């Protein structure tokens, strides 16, 4: 099992660990509400080193990347980042990926529902990645994520004022402790987000500095569990939740991650056929009042006496103080503002909603 390089630092900050796809990941501090509120109202620091990381030279890498991943890397300008996915031969999603054009190389960052060796097998053995110069750099770097409506304040305190000019889905080099680090502005919470990729030799110092700066603005160190809630009520795709449950990128509404005009990636034939035939289901947001009790994935949804779908993921949203869920429903019934029933025809009433269900503070934040 892969361990986090910063495990001791995280334990010292009260974070517990659990296994996910062969990686011992930081889970939570035990107080999800505090972690959640720190991101929505200030900033949270999370170790994202579980992400699988690869590099490939720009010239040799273009064809490889375009034949593997769903997005088009061809038009990805220097300094920009593409959000796309990797599917298997059945067209099911395997990995949620950022591909960054970083000078003369591409960096590939993967959140996968496979362990490290299975992903390596897909990229190296089945698709000859090494022939194109692909390198697995997962163990060479740590990746920290600073998220929150005030995350920019922490980022500015660490890297200087220039970081405020970094556009969304961009990568740029900054200096920390006389060492170059890559910062990507991204994130999947709806708030400002910065991924920091740093060599291991400065990782502990970087973590200490980042955690100090985050705490100075009333933030905290977070585990990964809170990101399941932040992604859900921020309506960002979560491969570890709806991704693994639904698998089908078209049901998941991930067409925006696909280069639809040039589909020749792994699994593209099946996805293309499904698209041509028409998609019959999709996921939709649901809000459930607290008196309905605990809502668990797999619970059936009824329309009068007919079972029409099921809950895919559900979490308590601390902003709404209600349960927010995603459900997979027939295409023609997946419209916002409709009432259905949970668990049985006479079960608690639930309502489909427009997502994201609230405006994150970052949307109207002026940074300086």
Partner 1 sequence: MNVEREEKIKTRKEILQKLKEEMIKRLDLPYKPEDIHEDISILGAGMGLDSLDAIEIVMIVESCFNVRIEDGNTAPLRSLNTITDYIIAQKGVEK
Positions touching partner 1 (CB under 8 A) are 83, 168-169, 188, 235-236, 253, 255-256, 259-261, 275, 278-279, 282, 284-285, 332, 335-339, 354-356, 359, 363-364
Q: How far apart are CA 107 and CA 182, in angstroms?
A: 10
User: Smallest distance, Å, CB 355 to partner 1?
Assistant: 4
Q: Which is nearer to partner 1, 243 or 285 (CB)?
A: 285
Q: Which residues contact 18 (CB under 8 A, 6 or more apart)?
A: 24, 25, 27
User: Smallest distance, Å, CB 116 to partner 1?
Assistant: 26
Query: How, if at all, do strands 44-47 and 220-222 pair?
Result: parallel
Using omega within 30 degrees of 0 as the cis cutoff, is the peptide bond preceding 28 cis? Answer: no
User: Smallest distance, Å, CB 321 to partner 1?
Assistant: 19
Q: Which is nearer to partner 1, 37 or 84 (CB)?
A: 84
User: Smallest distance, Å, CB 253 to partner 1?
Assistant: 3
Count the residues in the chain.
Answer: 368
Angle between helices 203-216 and 151-159 (to 10 degrees): 130
Q: Which is nearer to partner 1, 106 or 237 (CB)?
A: 237
Cα dihedral 255, 259, 264, 265 sign: negative
CA gyration radius, the chain: 21
Query: How, if at all, do strands 16-20 and 105-112 pair?
Result: unpaired
User: Smallest distance, Å, CB 335 to partner 1?
Assistant: 5
Q: Which residues contact 163 (CB under 8 A, 6 or more apart)?
A: 152, 155, 156, 172, 174, 183, 194
Q: Which is nearer to partner 1, 15 or 329 (CB)?
A: 329
| End-to-end Cα, the chain, rounded Å | 43
Q: Which is nearer to partner 1, 259 or 299 (CB)?
A: 259
Q: What is the DSSP letter of 129?
A: G
Q: How far is CA 336 from CA 62, 343, 345, 354, 359, in A?
A: 40, 20, 20, 5, 17
Q: Which is nearer to partner 1, 2 or 227 (CB)?
A: 227
**CA-closest candidate to residue 229, choices 364, 95, 319, 98:** 319
User: Smallest distance, Å, CB 356 to partner 1?
Assistant: 5
User: Smallest distance, Å, CB 241 to partner 1?
Assistant: 15
For 210-357, list the strands marked E by DSSP: 220-222, 281-288, 300-303, 306-317, 322-330, 339-342, 349-353
Q: Which is nearer to partner 1, 12 or 363 (CB)?
A: 363
Kind and range of the H or E element at 170? strand 170-176
User: Smallest distance, Å, CB 338 to partner 1?
Assistant: 6
Q: Which is nearer to partner 1, 78 or 335 (CB)?
A: 335
Q: Do the beta carbons of residue 312 and residue 284 sit within 8 Å?
A: no
């Amino acid at each position: 099992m892969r361990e986090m390089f910063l495990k001791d630092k995280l334990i010292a900050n009260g974070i517990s660990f659990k296994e996910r796809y062969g990686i011992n990941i930081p889970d939570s501090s035990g107080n999800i509400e505090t972690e959640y509120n720190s991101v929505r109202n200030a900033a949270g620091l999370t170790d994202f080193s579980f992400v699988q990381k690869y590099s490939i030279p720009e010239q040799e890498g273009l064809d490889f990347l375009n034949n593997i991943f769903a997005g088009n890397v061809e038009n990805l300008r220097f300094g920009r980042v593409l959000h796309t996915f990797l599917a298997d031969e059945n067209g099911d999603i395997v990995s949620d990926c950022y591909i960054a054009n970083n000078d003369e190389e591409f960096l590939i960052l993967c959140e996968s529902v496979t362990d490290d060796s299975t992903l390596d097998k897909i990229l190296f053995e089945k698709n000859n990645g090494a022939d194109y110069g692909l390198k697995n750099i997962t163990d060479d770097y740590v990746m920290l994520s600073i998220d929150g409506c005030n995350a920019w304040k922490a980022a500015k305190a660490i890297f200087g004022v220039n970081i405020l000019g970094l556009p969304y889905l961009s990568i740029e080099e900054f200096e920390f402790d006389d060492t170059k680090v890559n910062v990507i502005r991204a994130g999947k919470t709806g708030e400002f987000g910065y991924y920091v990729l740093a060599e291991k030799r400065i990782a502990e110092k970087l973590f200490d500095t980042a955690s100090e700066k985050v705490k100075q603005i009333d933030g905290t160190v977070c585990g990964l569990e809170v990101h399941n809630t932040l992604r859900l009520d921020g309506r960002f795709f979560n491969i570890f939740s709806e991704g693994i449950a639904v698998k089908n990128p078209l049901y998941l509404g991930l067409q925006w991650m696909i280069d639809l005009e040039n589909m020749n990636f792994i699994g593209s034939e099946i996805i293309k056929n499904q698209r041509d035939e028409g998609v019959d289901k999709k996921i939709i947001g649901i809000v459930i009042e607290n008196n309905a009790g605990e809502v668990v994935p797999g619970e059936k949804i009824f329309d009068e006496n007919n079972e029409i779908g099921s809950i895919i993921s559900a979490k308590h949203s601390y902003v709404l103080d209600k349960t927010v869920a995603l459900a997979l429903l027939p295409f023609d019934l997946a419209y916002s503002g409709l009432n259905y029933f949970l668990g049985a025809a006479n079960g608690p009433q639930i309502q489909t909603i427009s997502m994201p269900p609230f405006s994150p503070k970052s949307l109207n934040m002026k940074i300086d």
